[in-house]
Amino acid sequence: MNLYSAVFYTDNLEEVVSFYRDVLGFEVDYIQDGRFASFLLGSGKLGIKYKKEEREVPGHQTVFIEVDDIKDLYGRIQEKKVTMGKELVEQDWATNFSILDPDGNKVQFLERNN
C-alpha cells in the first residue's frame, strides 16, 4: 500500500497555498479557486481544503514528510522565519523537526537514521 494523499483544512486557502508554494517551495499539483489545492510530495500529495463541514477543523492535523539532508532543509527553513513546532532533534530512529503552517497544522520533517 502507498498513501495517496492527506488533507489539511483551512479558513484561508489563499494564505495557506502561498505558504506551501512560496515559503516551503512545494510543487503545486492542482488549485481549485476558493475550494481546494494539492501539492506533490514524492508519490503522494498534500491537499488543502477550505473548511466547509463542522468536522473539518483547521490546525489539528499533522503530516510527516521524509527528506534527504534534513540539516540543510532545517537551515533553509530557519532562514524563512516560519513558526517552529519542534527544533531539530536526533533520535534513535530519525533526525526530525516540525513547523506549523498558518492554521497551526504541524508539518514534521524527518530523515531516517539507517
CATH of residue 87's domain is: 3.10.180.10
pLDDT of residue 103: 96
Q: Which residue segment(s) compose the domain that 72 sits in? A: 5-112
pLDDT of 61-91, one tens digit each?
999 999 999 999 999 999 998 999 999 999 9
pLDDT of 45-64, one tens digit each?
999 999 999 999 999 999 99
What is the DSSP code (8-state) at residue 73? Answer: H
pLDDT of 6-28, one tens digit each?
999 999 999 999 999 999 999 99
The closest of 104, 101, 97, 107 to 22, measured between CA atoms, is 101
Number of domains making up the chain? 1
Q: What pTM does this model have?
A: 0.90
